[in-house]
Amino acid sequence: MKTSEDEFNSQNLDDAARWELALLWNDLHDARGYAANGEWSIKCDGLLSRIQVFTRLVGPTPWEEIPIPLLEDGTYQRIHAEMGVPVWVDMARVAETRQSINEQTSRLRATSRGVRSET
């Protein structure tokens, strides 16, 4: 059975692996939130192994695609350092993004409180 060359070329496989790797980082963030100690679990270990495999295949996920808490606490940087994979994170932009998120959250809470008090 013949398949289209475009359907299974290496670029499509690399793109799929990069996409999966970005999803794994998000899964790691979620798994940490569900961990009994709030930091790490056996599920996190499994996700870490998969992140390492995919990183070796396609390189690191750009930091802009990583959940902010994993950047803020250095998890993203530490995992790559342990693998010997250099990554750079613009921590000033991470801090700016966190500030923006916090401001938006505060505005939403204030608006929400205002709506509740009127009803």
Condensed to tens digits (0 to 9), the pLDDT of residues 18-36 reads: 999 999 999 999 999 999 9
> Does the pLDDT of residue 3 top 60, yes or no?
no
Q: With the CA atoms of 107, 109, 114 and 118 taken in that order, what torsion angle do they form, in degrees rounded to the nearest 10?
A: 150
pTM for this model (two decimals): 0.81
CA torsion angle 54 13 61 78 (round to 10): 10
pLDDT (0 to 100) of residue 109: 87
Supply 70's token pair. Answer: 């994993």
Place of tokens 């700016």: 96
Residue 79 identity: I
| CA 72 remoteness from chain centre | 12
How far apart are the C-alpha atoms of 104 and 97, rounded to whole Å? 11
Residue 94 Cα distances to 77, 78, 91, angstroms: 13, 16, 5
Q: Residue 2 CA to chain centroid, in angstroms?
A: 37
